[in-house]
């Protein structure tokens, strides 16, 4: 049994060391745990995987826990849907967001990354602020077809949405603050959907506006919800993954020089980082009925948190789980989830991080972390500030970067 004082997961402010040892204890001693708010938590790989995979018992229909989101927004948000509605929405988004769409974006991702790397300050820069944060929001803006003149507005909406996450004091406050931040973006995206009807070539917004569900077009509001979901699901997650990769390189001397010499190993380093430091560290479900799991019972209609971070460090699944090892094969990590809600943006996330890491190696002969990173608190797993020292490949000038 966990003791009273250990009854919460320590925040990630120290980079995750305390949280990881707390999670290890929970996996071993209390694999099913109800917190003081009545939410249930599972920690072992098999249990986390079961929660993600069994949508009949663990529903994603969390809409009624989100005051302020109207019914249309909830019903069009595929991450909050169960079958059959989920399958319809997912098919529709998958049709618009194809592997070909991602492949076609690769040259643009490289160009945006080069521009960002070219314009980092010479002496002091925060890798998150100058590269890892702007890259994915710019890519998603392009993917959706946001016009260049609206990019600053779009980014300010993303900032507002993300800014709400860690200031709220309760889950209900957080949901309300999120709904407020979401409102402005939703109105903008709805207007864009209306404007682009009949022009399927104008980015993903146009493609979604032209798509049909059971012979019916999506409403402007539904298009806006799906477009907004792609922004919220695919922005900070990539920012964090990029930062987490640099942390993995810092902590594992030798890996960077190996990757610089063998670029074909870069995807394995990205994958191992998704296991070792998954940005999205847990998923949330609600039980549809009483469920037996992890040696205990969860009553019906209870919120369940499944810790992907814990599952990815479970020695029942991964030998020496606390060792960062890019030679693991296969890496069946849960960083992108599992089951019907498996991350739709995985190929884009992999493309962006692989391109960014390769270009970082090309551009800079040396990249070293300087000073202590500043981490997100509880909602996300990864750094929000990451100071780097770099030496450009071309001119050998040492640039020391600070926060
Ligand atoms: C490193 C980057 C990313 C990580 C770690 C990540 C992680 C995840 C995880 C764990 C889930 C499953 C959530 C659940 O089961 O409740 C998920 C779902 C999803 N992700 Fe990602 N994601 C990333 C990037 C992206 C990108 C770039 C996009 C799109 C632009 C995206 C779009 C989505 C969508 C739409 C879903 C919901 C799918 C569904 O419900 O069927 N993600 N992601």
Atom of ligand 1 nearest to the CA of 52: 15
CA distance readout (Å), 318 to 47, 125, 310: 15, 36, 11
Q: How far is it between the farthest Cα atoms of the chain?
A: 64
Mutate to test the pocket of ligand 1, among 344, 354, 383 (most ligand atoms within 8 A of CB): 344
Minimum-distance ligand 1 atom for the alpha carbon of 60:
16
Query: What confidence score (pLDDT) does residue 283 get?
Result: 97
**Tokens 């001119």 belong to which residue?**
395
Which pLDDT score, from 0 to 100, does residue 171 have? 64
Query: How many other CB atoms sit within 10 Å of the CB of residue 32?
Result: 19
Collapse the DSSP code of 320 into the 3-class scheme (helix H, G, I; strand E, B; otherwise coil) and give the result.
coil
* Letter string b/e over residues 194-206, b meaning 16 or more CB atoms within 10 A of that residue's CB: eebeeeeebbbbb
Buried b (16+ CB within 10 A) or exposed e, 262-277: eeeebebbbbbbbbbb
Residue 123 tokens, joined = 């002496």
| pLDDT value of position 165 | 52
- Residues 136/235, Cβ–Cβ less than 8 Å: yes
DSSP bridge pairs for 217? 212
From ligand 1's centre to the CA of 341, what distance in Å?
8
Q: What is the C-alpha separation between 102 and 305, in angstroms, rounded?
A: 31
- The first and second tokens of residue 253, run together, are 């001397």
Output the residue whose Cα is nearest ligand 1's atom 11.
343
What mean pLDDT do residues 386-396 have? 84
Coil, strand or helix at 40: strand
**pLDDT single digits (tens) 183-205:** 889 999 999 999 988 777 778 99
CA of 4 to the centre of ligand 1 (A): 34
Q: 3-class SS at 177?
A: helix
Residue 187 CA to residue 328 CA, distance in Å, equals: 45
List 285's β-bridge partners, or say none: 304
Which one-letter DSSP state was computed for residue 380?
S
Q: Which residue, among 264, 341, 320, 309, has the nearest Cα to 41 in the 3D structure? A: 309
Q: Can you give the pLDDT at residue 396?
A: 45
Radius of gyration of the chain (CA): 21
Check whether 1 has a pLDDT greater than 60: no
CA distance 126 to 241: 15
Which residue minimizes the CA distance to atom 1 of ligand 1? 238
Asked if residue 5 has pLDDT above 50, the reply is: no
Neighbours of 393 (CB within 10 A): 12
Look up residue 57 and give its two tokens.
Answer: 């018992």
Closest CA to ligand 1's atom 21: 343
pLDDT tens across 249-282, in order? Answer: 999 999 999 999 999 999 999 999 999 999 999 9
CA dist 206 to 110, 195, 261, 283, Å? 24, 9, 42, 30
Q: Given pLDDT bands bounded at 50, 70 and 90, which one contains residue 403?
A: very low
Token pair 């890496």 is found at 331
pLDDT tens track for 288-307: 999 999 999 999 999 999 99
Q: Which atom of ligand 1 is nearest to the CA of 93?
A: 35
Res 239 pLDDT > 90: yes
Nearest ligand 1 atom, CA 338: 15
Q: What sign does the dihedral 207-138-246-390 (CA atoms) show? A: positive
Would you say residue 402 has pLDDT above 70?
Answer: no
Question: Residues enclosing ligand 1, CB less than 6 A?
Answer: 52, 78-79, 90, 140, 229-230, 233-234, 237-238, 241, 278-280, 283, 335-337, 341, 343-345, 348-349
Find out whether 378 and 166 touch, Cβ atoms under 8 Å. Answer: yes
How many Å lie between the centroid of ligand 1 and the Cα of residue 230?
A: 8
**Residue 13 backbone phi and psi in degrees, to 5:** -60, -25
Q: What is the pLDDT of residues 110-165, one digit of tens each?
A: 999 999 999 998 878 999 999 999 999 999 999 999 988 888 888 888 888 776 55
**Structural contact between residues 208 and 223, judged by C-beta atoms closer than 8 angstroms:** yes
Neighbours of 100 (CB within 10 A): 8
- Residue 69 — pLDDT band, cuts 50, 70, 90? low
User: What is the pLDDT, as a whole number, of residue 398?
Assistant: 44
- Give distance in angstroms: CA of 260 to centre of ligand 1: 29
What is the 12 CA–ligand 1 centroid distance (Å)? 21
CA-closest residue to ligand 1 atom 6: 336
d(CA 178, CA 170): 12
Nearest Cα to Cα of residue 322 among 312, 331, 332: 312
Better-scored residue on pLDDT, 165 or 313: 313
Question: What SS3 state is found at 362?
Answer: helix
Lowest mean pLDDT among 84-98, 154-168, 207-221: 154-168
pLDDT tens for 100-122 read 889 999 999 999 999 999 999 88
| Beta strands 303-307; 40-42: pairing state | parallel
Comparing CA positions, the residue from 172, 155, 174 lying closest to residue 164 is 174
Q: What is the DSSP string of 223-282?
A: HHHHHHHHHHHHSHHHHHHHHHHHHHHHHSTTHHHHHHH-GGGHHHHHHHHHHHS-SS-E
Which protein residue's CA is at the shortest distance from atom 20 of ligand 1? 343
Work out which ligand 1 atom sits closest to the CA atom of 353. Answer: 1
d(CA 256, CA 262): 10
Residue 227 alpha carbon to ligand 1 centre in Å: 13
Is a pLDDT exceeding 60 seen at residue 362?
yes
| Ligand 1 atom having least distance to the Cα of 342 | 12
- Nearest atom, ligand 1, residue 231 CA: 30
Domains in the chain, CATH or no CATH each: 43-400 (1.10.630.10)
């Amino acid at each position: 049994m966990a003791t009273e004082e250990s009854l919460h997961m320590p925040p990630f402010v120290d980079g995750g060391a305390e949280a990881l040892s707390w999670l290890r204890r929970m996996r071993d001693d209390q694999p099913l745990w109800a917190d003081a708010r009545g939410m249930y938590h599972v920690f072992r790989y098999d249990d986390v995987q079961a929660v993600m995979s069994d949508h009949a018992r663990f529903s994603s229909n969390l809409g009624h826990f989100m005051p302020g989101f109207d019914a249309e927004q909830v019903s069009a948000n595929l991450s909050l849907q169960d079958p059959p509605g989920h399958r319809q929405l997912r098919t529709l988004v998958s049709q618009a967001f194809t592997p070909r769409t991602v492949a076609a974006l690769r040259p643009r991702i490289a160009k945006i990354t080069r521009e960002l790397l070219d314009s980092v300050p010479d002496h002091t820069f925060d890798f998150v602020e100058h590269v890892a944060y702007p890259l994915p929001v710019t890519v998603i803006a392009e993917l959706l077809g946001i016009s260049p003149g609206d990019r600053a507005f779009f980014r300010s909406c993303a900032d507002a949405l993300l800014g709400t996450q860690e200031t709220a004091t309760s889950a209900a406050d957080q949901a309300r603050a999120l709904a407020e931040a979401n409102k402005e973006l939703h109105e903008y995206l709805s207007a864009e959907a209306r404007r682009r009807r009949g022009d399927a070539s104008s980015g993903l917004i146009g493609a979604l506006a032209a798509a049909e569900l059971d012979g019916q077009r999506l409403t402007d509001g539904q298009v806006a919800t799906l477009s907004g979901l792609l922004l919220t699901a695919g922005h900070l997650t990539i920012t964090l993954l990029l930062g987490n990769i640099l942390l993995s390189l810092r902590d594992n001397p030798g890996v960077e020089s190996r990757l610089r010499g063998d670029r074909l190993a870069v995807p394995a380093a990205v994958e191992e980082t998704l296991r070792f430091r998954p940005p999205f560290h847990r998923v949330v479900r609600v039980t549809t009925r009483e469920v037996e799991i992890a040696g205990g019972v969860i009553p019906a209609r209870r919120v369940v948190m499944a810790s992907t971070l814990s599952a990815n460090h479970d020695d029942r699944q991964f030998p020496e789980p606390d060792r960062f090892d890019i030679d693991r094969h296969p890496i069946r990590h849960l960083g992108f989830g599992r089951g019907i809600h498996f991350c739709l943006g995985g190929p884009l996330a992999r493309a962006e991080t692989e391109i960014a890491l390769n270009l970082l190696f090309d551009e800079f002969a040396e990249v070293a972390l300087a000073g202590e990173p500043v981490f997100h608190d509880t909602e996300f797993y990864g750094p929000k500030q990451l100071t780097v020292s770099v030496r450009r490949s071309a001119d050998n000038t040492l640039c020391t970067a600070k926060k």
